[in-house]
Amino acid sequence: MYKSKFNSRTLFLPVVLFLLLTVAAVLSETEDADDLEGIDELIAIDDEQEIGENSHPTTGHFENRESGKKSEVLSRAQRVVVELNSDSTKRVIEENEYVMVLGYAPWCGRSAELMPRFAEAANVLKGLGSRVLLAKIDAERFPKAASALEIKGFPTLLLFVNGSSQPYTGGFSSEEIVIWASKKTGAPVIRINSVADANEFLKQHAVYAVGLFDKYEGPDYGEFLKAAVADNEIQFVEMSSIEVAKILYPVVTPTKPFFGLVKSEPEHYSSFDGNFSSDEILHFLEDHKFPLVTVMTELNSAKVYSSTKKLQVYVFGEDDDLKKLLKPLQEIAKKFKSQMMFVAVDIREDNLAKPFLTLFGLEESKDTVVIAFDYNSNSKYLLESDLTSRNIEEFCAGFLKGTLTPYYKSQTIPDNTNASVLTVVGKTFDELVLNSPANIILEVHTPWCITCETTSKQVEKLAKHFKGLDNLVFARIDASTNEHPKLQVEDYPTLLFYPANDKSNPITLSTKSNLKELAALINKNLKTQDPASKDEL
């Protein structure tokens, strides 16, 4: 997915676009739906005017345009991207072989972020002579038409082929949209036959996969084609001339067959050295397609979450701090690129940052934070030393070797003096529960649990009732802010009885029982430890 940060400059474009969309939408109410039939003629006239003014049609430099070019893209988007409504949606889809539809809502931030890229993709596809018609529909304004297309969330991208839809599975930069649409509606591989063609290709693509073959036949070439069809995100190109290959991949070896990946970042070239099978090629692409450090956005977050790399390192910080860390992080990432994924997240983007930081009890943090997740063991780790390049690299090395200590949330240690019910935190769980010589009744609760308050009151009353027993201690722990590897609870509230002689096998007490029933259950368990217990409440 696209790698750029979501900042004030990128926010300006969606705002302008929405204003234009609003005007266009108001006008569309007064226009006859049949006016769409003349859209090709209008576009042709516009193109003639632009050529007459010595301007060139958009050829697709993607994310590297100047601000003036971006404004031009937004202006052309109103002509190239068809705005669907209740009357035109069905007809447009039925009358065109390929239609890619963007379902959006004006209030949706992710829609605002995607729409300029969708518009730019439309211009590029038109310049390439693609048969794909790009269209958009305001699903909030035309809910019935959107529902008929099975648009349920925002933004939603669908490709209709002869009226039948398929979900979009590509990335969300303009280039990735172009690649996905081109692959789904044309040849999965572009053949480059000359140096001139190669140079022209470079004007339009920054990320691509190169295949060099003596002949376009045989088992290796067949596996290459299978991989090209299976992959939805990267443009494949093929050639038989080493001279042509060196234009697109200057470090190419003269041996055939050859396969390599090109990206627009410090790790510019990655050469494939495995066996020519589609599975190994796809695995190679999965390992190398992400940048050394992926900047997470709302639109590419799902792609990050679904990565096959189970070891992931996240850096949370404000935009300026992340920019300072980017180059050192890229150098570190080069050393671990085949084993783990590196992700940078703007800590001010609450939707992206807080779900992660909450797992560490750091949701209110404003400082730069480095964390790691091992999704093989569902373990998490926190860098607690200074944020130097050396410390981050050592943290990553320990993470890879499995020598880091997993991180568990804990509140600060409270003062339990004179407390009838002890407050346990992550740091004191061993001392107050597992290593205590007494029997422990532990209440596990969370702030959002609607029935926890009732159980807490019962525990308070039970603590007073059993006050005279030295071998019985009542305690509670807030599971939302405290963790321990030996405390695995999913339902709240939970009452656990830890026998003094076997803390490894706590007994669950029913929180639906009344006071007398709970007292009886406690006494029943106590009698196995000490005959002297209170039988009545």
Positions marked catalytic:
108, 449, 452
Contact criterion met (CB below 8 Å) for 372 and 380: yes
d(CA 433, CA 424): 8
Run of H or E including 28: helix 8-30
**In the block, which residue shows the tokens 């410090």?**
266
d(CA 527, CA 534): 10
Cis ω before 167 (30° cut-off from 0): no
d(CA 234, CA 227): 10
Q: Computed from CA positions of residues 341, 342, 344, 350, in that sequence, does the dihedral angle turn out positive or negative?
A: positive
Residue 472: other Cβ atoms inside 10 A: 24
Cα angle 17-170-196, degrees, rounded to a multiple of 5: 90
d(CA 101, CA 156): 8
Q: Residue 255 gets which letter from DSSP? A: -
Within its chain, how far is the Cα of 505 from the centroid?
Answer: 38
d(CA 256, CA 242): 9
